[in-house]
Structure 1
Amino acid sequence: MASLGPAPAVLTRPDPVAPAPAVTVCTDSAEFGRLREEWNRLHRACAAATPFQSHAWLHSWWLSYGRPGRLRVVLVRQEGRLVAAAPLMLRPLPFPTLTPLGTEISDFSDVLVEDAPAASPSRAVDALRAGLWRLARTAVVDFREVRPGSTVEALYARWPGPRRRLDDSPCLELPALPMDELVGRLPRPRAQRARAKLRKLDALGIERRVVPAADVDESVRRLLDLHRLQWQDRKVTTEHVRPRFAEHLTRAVAQMARTGDAVVTEFTLDGSVVAADLTFLSPRLAGGYLYGAHPQLRERKVDVATMLLRSCAEHLQGGSRDSVLSLLRGTEPYKLHWRPEHRVNQRYLLARHATAPLIGAVLADVRARSWAKRARTAWKERGAGPG
C-alpha cells in the first residue's frame, strides 16, 4: 500500500478540528481482497453507488481480467475509516490511461464517497481528487460509462487541470412501478398486446423462483448454459461465452447475492428450468444484467423479454420512491416498446497540464472509432459487406 502523503494545499480545504484525510494507493491484489468488509460498508454508505462498484464485482473482475502491476485503487481514510475509494487500473497502451476496474463488462462506473451532510463540503471528495491528481502526472484518468448523478461528477466539477466530458453509451430507464402500471403507460393497442402476452405466460404455467443465496453458484452456471444455448448459431457478445467471464460471474454473484446486490431468478416449465435471469439491485435501481432462455420458449412464442421485465419489476417493489428499473446499456427495439426514458452515460477525462496531450490522443481515437463504425454501417447498408 503506497502512501501519497498529505494532499497539496491547492487541492484541499483546511479544517481546524479534523485531521487531514490519509490518501494511499493499493497496488496489491491480496490487499485489495482484504478490503472487503470496509469496502462493503463504504458501498452501503454511498447512495449513488450501483452493484458495479461493489467489492465482490470489482475484486472478482480483477482476479479474472487484471494484469500484474497495474492495480491502482485510491483509498481515502479519515481517522482510520475508509470514506472514499477510486478503483482503477493502469493501461499503458495505446497511451497511458487510468480506467475503472470492470469497464468492459460493467454498465456503470463510479467512485465511492461516503455521503456527507448536504450543508458541509466533502473533504473526502477533495482528498480523492488529490490522490487522482498525483496519479495523473503520467496518465490521463478516463472514467467510462458514468451514470448521470454519479459521484464522479463532483470530482470533475472540482478538477483543477485540463478535463473533457463526452457522451458515452445510451441507457434506458423505466419508473419503479408494478407491471400492470408499466403496461398502463403504453398506447392502448400496445398495452392490449402486452396483456395478452402476460396472460399467455400465466396460461402456460411458467413458474418463477428466486434462487436462495446458498444455491446461486449452481444457478449461475445453469444460466450461462442456457445463455449459450439461446445464442448458438446466432451473433452473441463474444466475452459472454469465454471461460474467464463464467469464472468471474459465478464467483462475483455468489458473494453479491449474500449482500443483496444481486438476485438470480429461475423460470420453470413442466418441472424443468427453461430460463434464468441475473438482476443487479441497489437502493436506486434494479437492472437485468444477463439471462438465458431455452430455445423451446421461442418455439412456443413466449415473449421472454416481457416475462423478465415483470420479474425485474417485482424485485423493485417496496424500494425507494426515486428508484428506477434500468434497462442498462443499449437501445434495442424490445426495450423501446415500453416507452422508457433515455439517459446517456458520460465519459470524463481528467489530466494535468503535462498529460493534457493524452486527452487529445483519446479524442482522436474516439473520432477514428466513430468514423470506422459509420463506414462499416454504410458499407453494410449498400449490401457490399458481410451480414
Structure 2
Amino acid sequence: MTTCSTGVPLGSRELAVTLCRDPRQFAALEEPWNRLLKRCPTATPFQSHAWVHSWWLSYGREGRLRILLVRRAGELVGVAALMLVHRPLPLLVPLGGSITDYFDVLVDERYAAEVVPALARGLHQAARGAVVDLREVRPGAAVEALAEAWPGSVDTLADSACAEFPVVPFDELVKRMPSAGAQRTRAKVRKIDALGIEEHRVSEHEVPETVRTLLRLHEKQWRGRGVTPEHLRPRFAEHLTRATRRMVRAGDARLTEFRLDGQVVAATVTLMSPGLSGGYLYGADPDLRTRKVDVATMLLRHEARHAQAEGRGVLSLLRGSEPYKNHWRPETVVNRRFLLARASHSPLLRLHGSQVTGRERAVSARREALPAARDWRNRINEWRADGARR
C-alpha cells in the first residue's frame, strides 16, 4: 500500500488510505482536492479546499488535525476533513465549525462503491476512543452512505433547518406568495429599480476591501439587535476574506456590491457548487429603510437570477428560520447529525448522545418555562425580520 511520509497508513488493500495530521500537507492538497470536489455531486461549497483550509488557518489548533485521505492509483478519490476536540469527551468533528452550514465527506462518484467502505474502515480505525460527531449533514449527502457502511454504532439526530427554493425565474418565486404579498413584492421591486440601485460583481483583487465593507454594514444593520458575535471578530474577517478570495478565483463564490449614487449600500457573498447556490452573509446600510428599500427582496431577486443563469440545482438561504424567509414559502430542509462510535452499543456514544439531547432539551425547557425569555426571543425575531424587510 502506497502512502506519503506525512500520513499515517490505515488498512485497505485496494486503496491507499492515510490520515493527514500535517498542516503543510493539508495546504499542498488544493489542486487534487478541488478536482475531487468536482467529481462529488453531493458536495457543497463548504467542502471546498479554500473554505476548510482557510477555516483551519483561523480556527485550527496545533496537533488536532485529522483528515482522512483515500487514493486510488495515486489519485485522490475520498476525503473526510475532521479535527480532534475534547468537549469534554474526545470527539472527531468536521473542519468548519459553527460558521459552516453544511458538512459532507468527499467521494469520487466513479469509485463510490470502493471509496465509501474504505472511508468507513479508515475512519473507524482513526477514531480510536473518540466519537465521530458529524453535524449539519444535508439530506442526500455522502455521509449517509458512510453511516450505512460504518462497522460500529450509529445514532442520528435532527440538526439545523435550512430554507431552500427551486431554481426558477424570480417571478415564479413571487407567485408562491399569497396574492396580496405578491402584489406588495412587485411594488418593492419597482421601487428598487426606480432608485437605480446597481449591482457590481467584485473581482478577486477587490475582495478584501468589499469584505471589510460588508462586515461594517453587517454590524451596522444589526447594532443593538443581537448580531452574531463571531461575525465581529478579526479571525472571522480574516477567514472570510481569504476563503472568498480563493473561491472567487475558482468560480465557487460570488461577491456583489449594491451601489446607490456611487456609494456601496449593501454587499453579499454567495457560495456555490454545481448543485447549490447559497447566500452566506450580507450587510446593508440601515439608511435604506428611509428609502423604503426591501433588502430581502433585492437580495433574493439577485440570488434567483444568478442561480438560474448559472444552472445551479438549488437556491438555499442556508441555516435559520428567520420570519422574513418564511414569507417566500421556501421548502424547509432539516440537516442531520450523525454520531458514530467504534464499538457496537458504545457507552461513550450513549453518553455523548445524552449530553447533546440533554442540552437541547434544557434550552427548549428554559424557553418555554420563562415567558419573559420567550417574549424577548419573539421581539428579537421581529426586529430581525423588520430589518431584513426594510
Please report the TM-score for the alignment, with normalisation by the length of structure 2: 0.92
Q: What are the Cα deviations for residues 212-249 of structure 1, in whole angstroms up to 9, with x where unaligned?
A: 22322221121111111212222111111111100111
Q: Secondary structure in 2 aligned to 1:265?
A: strand
Residue range with higher mean Cα deviation, 149-158 or 185-194: 185-194
CA separation in 2, counterparts of 1:31 and 1:20?
23
CA separation in 2, counterparts of 1:383 and 1:110?
35
Alignment map for 1:1-387 (pairs within 5 Å) = 1-7=6-12, 20-116=14-110, 122-320=113-311, 323-353=313-343, 356-382=346-372
Contact 1:139 1:355 (C-alpha < 8 Å) held by counterparts = no
The equivalent of 2:380 in structure 1 is none
Identity %: 56
CA separation in 1, counterparts of 2:186 and 2:374?
42
Contact 2:201 2:256 (C-alpha < 8 Å) held by counterparts = yes
Contact 2:120 2:151 (C-alpha < 8 Å) held by counterparts = no
* CA drift at 1:376: 2.7
- Compare the two structures and name the one with the higher helix fraction: 2
CA separation in 1, counterparts of 2:168 and 2:98?
30
Distance 1:105 1:150, change over 3 A: same
* CA drift at 1:380: 4.0
Residue range with higher mean Cα deviation, 348-357 or 209-218: 348-357
Contact 1:178 1:313 (C-alpha < 8 Å) held by counterparts = yes
* CA drift at 1:354: 7.4
Q: Which stretches of structure 1, 4 residues or longer, exceed 6 Å deviation after superposition? A: 383-387
Opposite residue 94 of structure 1, the aligned amino acid is P
* CA drift at 1:384: 9.5
Q: How many residues align?
A: 372
CA separation in 2, counterparts of 1:350 and 1:20?
24
CA separation in 1, counterparts of 2:121 and 2:374?
52
Q: Secondary structure in 2 aligned to 1:353?
A: coil
Distance 1:127 1:364, change over 3 A: same
Q: Secondary structure in 1 aligned to 2:110?
A: coil
CA separation in 2, counterparts of 1:76 and 1:122?
13
Contact 1:103 1:109 (C-alpha < 8 Å) held by counterparts = no
* CA drift at 1:382: 4.4
Contact 2:10 2:122 (C-alpha < 8 Å) held by counterparts = no
Q: Secondary structure in 1 aligned to 2:128?
A: coil
Opposite residue 283 of structure 2, the aligned amino acid is G
CA separation in 2, counterparts of 1:214 and 1:176?
30
Q: What are the Cα deviations for residues 13-42 of structure 1, in whole angstroms up to 9, with x where unaligned?
A: xxxxxx610000110111100111111111
* CA drift at 1:379: 4.4
The equivalent of 2:386 in structure 1 is none
Q: What are the Cα deviations for residues 259-306 of structure 1, in whole angstroms up to 9, with x where unaligned?
A: 111100110111100000001111111111000001101222211011
Q: Secondary structure in 1 aligned to 2:125?
A: helix
Q: Secondary structure in 2 aligned to 1:142?
A: strand
Contact 1:173 1:342 (C-alpha < 8 Å) held by counterparts = yes
* CA drift at 1:365: 1.4
Q: Secondary structure in 2 aligned to 1:4?
A: strand
The equivalent of 1:11 in structure 2 is none
Opposite residue 359 of structure 1, the aligned amino acid is L
The equivalent of 1:16 in structure 2 is none
Q: Secondary structure in 1 aligned to 2:67?
A: strand
* CA drift at 1:370: 1.6
Q: Secondary structure in 2 aligned to 1:69?
A: coil
CA separation in 2, counterparts of 1:357 and 1:249?
39
Q: Secondary structure in 2 aligned to 1:209?
A: strand
* CA drift at 1:385: 9.0
Opposite residue 81 of structure 2, the aligned amino acid is P
Please report the TM-score for the alignment, with normalisation by the length of structure 1: 0.92
